[in-house]
Structure 1
Amino acid sequence: MSDVILESKITCPHCGHAQVDTMPTDACQWFYDCAGCGKVLEPHAGDCCVYCSYGTVKCPPMQQDRACCC
């Protein structure tokens, strides 16, 4: 099994602002405040968290083919 990547770049679909963040390993992040435009991002239907919807890397549980953290 490969190592889990903990950093993901989230890109806001509203303004295009991108920011690299460290993902939590013990909880899902359902909301994310964009530092560019201030909009609150929420996961797409079927995704467990904002990293799975807007990030360059899926959340740690999804990387490990485990059930989502929610």
Structure 2
Amino acid sequence: MVKWIALAGVLMVIAALFYLQAMDSLSTHAVIATILGVFFSVLLGSGLFSLSFFSDKSGHDDEVSGTTTRRDD
């Protein structure tokens, strides 16, 4: 699964670099910022989605479902 997420990150970086090249705004700093920003954003977003699905499937969300209801003690 991690290989597919990393591959998606690399493909997004390549697509962003092609876009920057087409717009003629490709400097060294822009390339470095694009590579780091796009790649780590894709990894972070995919990781957070994976954690939310894992949390839902494992039942961790069921334990805190009644926290917003008012209790009469």
TM-score by length of 2: 0.27
Q: Which has the larger radius of gyration?
A: 2
- Report the TM-score when normalising by structure 1: 0.28
